[in-house]
Amino acid sequence: MRATEFGRLIYRISVAWRREIDVRVRDFGLTEATWRPLLYLGRLGDGQRQTDLAAALMIEAASLVRLVDALERAGLAERVEDPDDRRSKRITMTEQGRAIYAQVDTIHQGLAENFVRDIAPEDMAICASVLERIELAIDAQSDRLTIDESEPA
Q: Where are the alpha helices (DSSP H) in 1-153?
A: 3-25, 32-44, 50-57, 61-73, 95-115, 121-150
* Orientation angle between helical segments 3-25 and 32-44, nearest 10 degrees: 90
Q: In the prediction, which pLDDT does 152 show?
A: 46
| CATH ID of 20-118, from 3.40.50.300, 3.40.720.10, 1.10.10.10, 1.20.58.220 | 1.10.10.10
The mean pLDDT value for 133-148 works out to 78
Which tens digit of pLDDT belongs to each residue from 70-118?
A: 999 999 999 999 888 888 889 999 999 999 999 999 999 999 999 999 9
pLDDT at 151 over 60: no
Residues 6+ apart with CB under 8 A from 16: none
Which tens digit of pLDDT belongs to each residue from 28-50?
A: 999 888 999 999 999 998 899 98
Q: Identify the band that residue 61 occupies on the pLDDT scale cut at 50, 70 and 90.
A: confident
Residues 6+ apart with CB under 8 A from 90: 47, 48, 49, 50, 79, 80, 81, 82
Residues 6+ apart with CB under 8 A from 77: 37, 38, 41, 68, 71, 91, 92, 93, 94, 97
Q: In the prediction, which pLDDT does 153 show?
A: 43
pLDDT at 144 over 80: no
**Domain map (residue ranges) of the chain:** 20-118, 120-153
